Amino acid sequence: MGIIILRYGGLLALFLIVLETAKRSMLFHFELVEIYVAIVAVMFLCLGVWFASRRGEQNKEAAALQVLNKADFSDRELDVLLFLCHGYSNKEIADHLSITTNTVKSHLKNIYSKLEVTNRTQAAAEAKILKIIG
């Protein structure tokens, strides 16, 4: 991050040097200070937009690698996750899905692993954040 800031600052300094050189060599006649300030402001704006777009592309690539979706879960894991998000206990989930509590625990273990969490509350919150469960 520090290298990016140094590069950005260096580019701005270079632009200011070019403007000052142009002003002193009379290539451009800066009679009004407002014009000079406007040019510098436009340069800052352009570099800011460029920098933000570059950061946005990097963030999208990183997010694309980390985001899970419904396709990453089996149908049964999604069913268990839905009941978990509604506050059901393992026994209640097993009764509703006609499976054993050990099977529920196995599904929960897989869900925790995929969501990279350690408990039910974190799993429910992460599933809602990732919009796996509405």
Q: What is the DSSP code string of 96-117?
A: HHT--HHHHHHHHHHHHHHHT-
- Specify the higher pLDDT residue, 20 or 81: 81
Percentage of the chain beyond pLDDT 70 is 74
pLDDT in tens, 62-97: 554 455 666 688 899 999 999 999 999 999 999 999
Residue 134: the pLDDT is 67
Residue 37 scores a pLDDT above 50: yes
| pLDDT category of residue 131 using cuts at 50, 70 and 90 | confident
Would you give the distance in Å from CA 81 to the centre of its chain? Answer: 24
pLDDT in tens, 89-127: 999 999 999 999 999 999 999 999 988 899 999 999 988
